[in-house]
Amino acid sequence: MTDRELRKLSRAELLELLLEETRENEKLRAQVEEMEEQLKDRRILLGQAGSIAEAALRLNGVFEAAEKAAQQYLENVRRLAEEGTD
C-alpha cells in the first residue's frame, strides 16, 4: 500500500490494519518459537545419534579386543596341547 493510499484511510481503517499486522506478527512469532523448538529437538537427536555412534565404535573396540584375547587363548591351548603330545 502506498503512502497516498494510507493517508486516505480513516482512523478506524488504520487501526484495523494495525490489528491485522499485530495478529500476523504474533502468528509469525509463534511459528518462529515452534521452529526453534524443533531445531533444538533435532540438535538433541543429532547429539544422541553421535553418542550412539561413538558407543558403537567403542563396543567394536571391545569386541575386537575380546576376539584377539580368545584367539591368543586358543593358540596357547593348541601350543600346550602340541607340547604335551611331544
pLDDT digits (tens, 9 = 90+) for 40-57: 888 877 777 778 777 787
pLDDT, residue 2, reads 83
Residue 1 lies in a domain: no
Which residue reads 604335551 in cell numbers? 84
| Region label for 3, one of left (φ > 0), alpha (ψ between -120 and 50) or beta (otherwise) | alpha
Residue 19 lies in a domain: yes
Residue 53 lies in a domain: yes
Residue 80 lies in a domain: yes
**Under 8 Å between Cβ of 42 and 50:** no
Residue 6 has pLDDT above 70, yes or no: yes
Give me the domain span that covers residue 61.
7-85
How many distinct structural domains can be found in the chain?
A: 1
pLDDT digits (tens, 9 = 90+) for 11-25: 899 999 999 999 999
Residue 2 lies in a domain: no
Q: Strand, helix or coil at 2?
A: coil
Residue 61 lies in a domain: yes
Mean pLDDT of the chain: 86
